[in-house]
Chains A and B, each alone.
Chain A
Amino acid sequence: MRRVREVTEEVARWVFEVHVEHLPNWQIAFTNPTAGPWKLVVGRNENGVPGEVHRFERESERPDLIIYSDQQQIVLIIEAKGAVEDLTRSKQTQKSVNVVAELTKILRSKRASHYWGKRADYTYLTAVLWGSESLTHPQKVHSVLATYDTACEEADLATPILGIESLREEGGDEIVCLGHTLAPTKAVRKGLTVAQALESLGLRG
């Protein structure tokens, strides 16, 4: 087995996708690799049959990943980068938040879709995902999450945002997913805290 040289954006996102695939209560609605037949947001109807909810225009801005949980009634829209610094470089934060805001609006309007329906009324959260070779310093995590929290509040999006770190520990080959938040006890919705949401995602902090 060959060894990953660097936990790139593609690797970081893929590791988390595989992680989600193995969770019992979460589904992937959209992923944005470089090419291929994957430019649709896909939901499932009452019988579990998948179908198109939204089709991105060729040149439109897209998030990197959308996942949802019917059990937790959450939709998570995720921006991914290879390194944590890239999430706040230049105008990236605003760009990412704009994408989340636009998509939240679109998905909230899909109540009539057989494949989305009640998910239009779920809690829509923003998450950022990055790759790392050693545990990201808490101060850096705090800075990035705080920057996004502020931008999300200004865009009328729910907060706090979630941080997901795909970490390859030094010398090892396994890459694990860790969860970060600035407000673990805050309620995402009635009866569910951020910490519980992270726990349902199988993310250890």
Chain B
Amino acid sequence: MRVQKEIELWSDSFHEGNWACAQMGVVLEQTGGKHSVRYEHGFVPVHTFSADGWTAQVTVYGSYRAWADLPEVIDDLLRWGKPDVIAFDPIEENILFVVEETAATPTGNQALQRCERQLGAALAGIPFWYLLSEYGRHVDGGVRRDSIWPTVVAFKLTTEFRIPSLVLHYSDERNPEDYSSGTGVASLFQSLTRMLANHCQDMPTLHGLESSLQEQYQDMAEFLEGQWGNQIEHLPGADLLQDTNLHHEFAQLATGDTPDTHAYRNFIHWPTRAEWLASASKAPKSSALLKHDELSLRLESDIDERCYVWSGRTGSKPQKPEMVREWVNKQERMFEKNPVSPVARFDMSVEDFPLSPTGLLHVTTGRNICYLYDRWGDVLDAVEYCFPRLKGRLDRGEDAMPAIVYVSNSLKPGRLFGDPFTGQVAAYGVIFGKRDPKPRKLLAYFPHQVHSQALTRSGNRSNKGRVIMTEMTDLLLFHAGVAVDLKVGEAI
């Protein structure tokens, strides 16, 4: 009996959905199947895929919000950001797979901005592929290689959620940003076509994908092997990257099987400070601040005793004095709108921001973005020491847990729940263990932002940034030591 399924392929643009269908059509035709397309209402692409015993009609809905009855599960997923392609079965009301793809190679902060989509799919239990260019041409004309972080996030999410979360690369050094170079595009659409075929034959969607997944995880490991040393001082478990057992284990984890061995448990697991010092080639050291801030100073000095950092290479992006003045004034006005008890005093002025050699003002405090502590209690001790108004007001019940402190020096108002900061929190939270079996607590510290921004839109739960910050943080800490627990939505 011939099985026919109706599938919807939702996409950010019609082009992306149509392109994905065309690529699956190529794969299917290579194995003897058939693919055709027609347009309903003169513009809605309907692709017909058929092979032995099954047919799928895949309708492409481009531009998510343009449609009257966006399915609820897709609406929920979009709260984490808009991925490029979502395959959806409207009868079973479930998502088969999600694809994010970028035409350019993200560098710096950009590399982390899409990681929230990886996390959103994992939380919803949806297989996720992130297709991106390994090599990209920079504005200066040089060629840049992709950041390691999306790949690290994919490995971590596979471990934590036991679903496929993969990063596939296309292009090569001589053909940057070229979709036809490298193996990523072909590998991706072979997997997606197989999943579609499985679904249409009422088989588990990941049936028969183990070897493809193993190859994809191996490609990811090989990419990390060649690139991590260019970005960070030390990657925990780097010695396992060439171990085929590890790639096999990840394929097993992704398909929900129990791995034969447990190499993955030591892979990208950020250890205690003592273990880190024992394994790293050189011990990280504290460094001077560019702009003074009491808690940032304490965090830096803790590197020598209580915490460690993965890299000290963060740069400074000084700002125009007139912009700094305007932003400080705006922050002050927002601060005064939401008084707190015990009283907190706004204590920021343009004179606090040191002059750079180019006449701009530094807003960067310490040169590190994340500090990894063995004890949450040490973090709270530092916070209470620097902001006595919080003494006795913070929950100390989980002091023994490990912790991450994320610092954003951003001064521009209104960016708290936007790019790149929410992507950074999502990515660094996943990477450094917010969702590990023994999870790290996460404090996000914003020395130049005020608490009002975290409170004023408390009713807007669909804001992407707020969703991410609520999920990934335990405490937000703002200027003048005003803390906010987003899960409660109140200032402390």
List the interface of chain A (C-beta within 8 A of B).
1-8, 10-11, 14-15, 17-19, 31, 33-39, 57-59, 173-176
B40 and A36 contact, CB distance less than 8 A: no
Which residue of chain A has its CB nearest to the CB of B180? Answer: A37
Min CB distance B237 to A, Å, is 33
A11 and B63 contact, CB distance less than 8 A: yes
Q: How far is the CA of A1 from the CA of B90 in the complex (A)?
A: 11
Give a binary string over B5-30; 1 marks a CB under 8 Å from any A CB, 0 the rest: 00010001111100100000000000
Q: Does B351 contact A (CB under 8 A)?
A: no
Give a binary string over B61-98; 1 marks a CB under 8 Å from any A CB, 0 the rest: 11101111100000000000000100000000000000
Q: Known interface pairs A6-B66, A35-B101. Does A19 touch B13 (Cβ–Cβ under 8 Å)?
A: no
B42 and A175 contact, CB distance less than 8 A: yes
B103 and A15 contact, CB distance less than 8 A: no
Q: Known interface pairs A35-B101, A35-B102, A39-B103. Does A10 touch B13 (Cβ–Cβ under 8 Å)?
A: yes
Report chain B residues within 8 Å CB of A3. Answer: 67-69
B13 and A34 contact, CB distance less than 8 A: yes
Q: Does B44 contact A (CB under 8 A)?
A: yes
Pick the 6 closest A-B CB pairs, nearest first. A33-B13, A10-B63, A5-B68, A14-B14, A15-B43, A8-B66
Report chain A residues within 8 Å CB of B42. Answer: 15, 18-19, 174-176
B16 and A36 contact, CB distance less than 8 A: yes
B16 and A2 contact, CB distance less than 8 A: no
Which residue of chain A has its CB nearest to the CB of B61? Answer: A2
Q: How far is the CA of A3 from the CA of B41 in the complex (A)?
A: 10
Report chain B residues within 8 Å CB of A175. Answer: 41-43
Q: Known interface pairs A5-B67, A8-B66. Does A37 touch B41 (Cβ–Cβ under 8 Å)?
A: no
A33 and B66 contact, CB distance less than 8 A: no
A5 and B66 contact, CB distance less than 8 A: yes
Report chain A residues within 8 Å CB of B69. Answer: 2-3
Q: Does B228 contact A (CB under 8 A)?
A: no
A18 and B43 contact, CB distance less than 8 A: yes
Interface SS majority for chain A:
loop
B19 and A36 contact, CB distance less than 8 A: yes
Q: Does B488 contact A (CB under 8 A)?
A: no
CB < 8 Å: which of A10, A34, A35, A59 contacts B66? A10
Cβ contacts A to B, 15 pairs, < 8 Å? A2-B69, A3-B69, A4-B67, A4-B68, A6-B65, A8-B66, A14-B15, A14-B63, A19-B42, A35-B84, A35-B103, A37-B179, A174-B41, A174-B42, A175-B42
Which residue of chain A has its CB nearest to the CB of B45? Answer: A18
Known: A8-B63, A37-B179, A175-B41. 7 other contacts (CB 8 A): A3-B67, A3-B68, A4-B66, A6-B66, A17-B14, A35-B16, A36-B103
Report chain B residues within 8 Å CB of A15. Answer: 42-43
Report chain B residues within 8 Å CB of A174. Answer: 41-42
Q: How far is the CA of A55 from the CA of B101 in the complex (A)?
A: 19
B41 and A173 contact, CB distance less than 8 A: yes
Q: Known interface pairs A14-B43, A58-B104, A175-B43. Does A33 touch B16 (Cβ–Cβ under 8 Å)?
A: yes
Q: How far is the CA of A174 from the CA of B42 in the complex (A)?
A: 6
Q: How many A-B residue pairs have CB under 8 A?
A: 88
Report chain A residues within 8 Å CB of B343. Answer: none
Q: How far is the CA of A39 from the CA of B102 in the complex (A)?
A: 12
Min CB distance B169 to A, Å, is 14
Q: How far is the CA of A3 from the CA of B67 in the complex (A)?
A: 6
List the interface of chain B (C-beta within 8 A of A).
8, 12-16, 19, 39-44, 59, 61-63, 65-69, 84, 101-104, 139, 179
B13 and A35 contact, CB distance less than 8 A: yes
Min CB distance B208 to A, Å, is 29
Interface centre among A36, A174, A175, A176 (most CB of B within 10 A): A36
Which residue of chain B has its CB nearest to the CB of A1? Answer: B40
Report chain B residues within 8 Å CB of A14. Answer: 13-15, 43, 62-63
Which residue of chain B has its CB nearest to the CB of A131? Answer: B66
Report chain B residues within 8 Å CB of A33. Answer: 12-16
Report chain A residues within 8 Å CB of B41. Answer: 1, 173-175
Interface centre among B61, B101, B103, B179 (most CB of A within 10 A): B103
Min CB distance A183 to B, Å, is 28
Q: How far is the CA of A7 from the CA of B101 in the complex (A)?
A: 25
Which residue of chain B has its CB nearest to the CB of A6? Answer: B66
Q: How far is the CA of A88 from the CA of B65 in the complex (A)?
A: 24
Interface centre among B43, B44, B101, B102 (most CB of A within 10 A): B43
B139 and A58 contact, CB distance less than 8 A: yes
Min CB distance B132 to A, Å, is 11
Q: How far is the CA of A2 from the CA of B16 in the complex (A)?
A: 19
B40 and A34 contact, CB distance less than 8 A: no
Min CB distance B46 to A, Å, is 8
Min CB distance B172 to A, Å, is 15
Interface centre among B15, B40, B59 (most CB of A within 10 A): B15
Report chain A residues within 8 Å CB of B59. Answer: 1-2
Min CB distance B5 to A, Å, is 16
B65 and A36 contact, CB distance less than 8 A: no
Min CB distance A176 to B, Å, is 7
Q: How far is the CA of A175 from the CA of B39 in the complex (A)?
A: 12
Report chain B residues within 8 Å CB of A5. Answer: 65-68
CB < 8 Å: which of B12, B15, B101 contacts A31? B15
Report chain B residues within 8 Å CB of A173. Answer: 41
Report chain B residues within 8 Å CB of A36. Answer: 13, 15-16, 19, 84, 101, 103
Q: How far is the CA of A5 from the CA of B66 in the complex (A)?
A: 5
Report chain A residues within 8 Å CB of B63. Answer: 8, 10-11, 14
Report chain B residues within 8 Å CB of A59. Answer: 139
Q: How far is the CA of A38 from the CA of B104 in the complex (A)?
A: 11
Interface centre among B59, B67, B84 (most CB of A within 10 A): B67
Report chain A residues within 8 Å CB of B102. Answer: 35
Q: How far is the CA of A1 from the CA of B284 in the complex (A)?
A: 59
Q: How far is the CA of A4 from the CA of B15 in the complex (A)?
A: 17
Q: How far is the CA of A38 from the CA of B16 in the complex (A)?
A: 10
Interface centre among A7, A33, A39, A173 (most CB of B within 10 A): A33
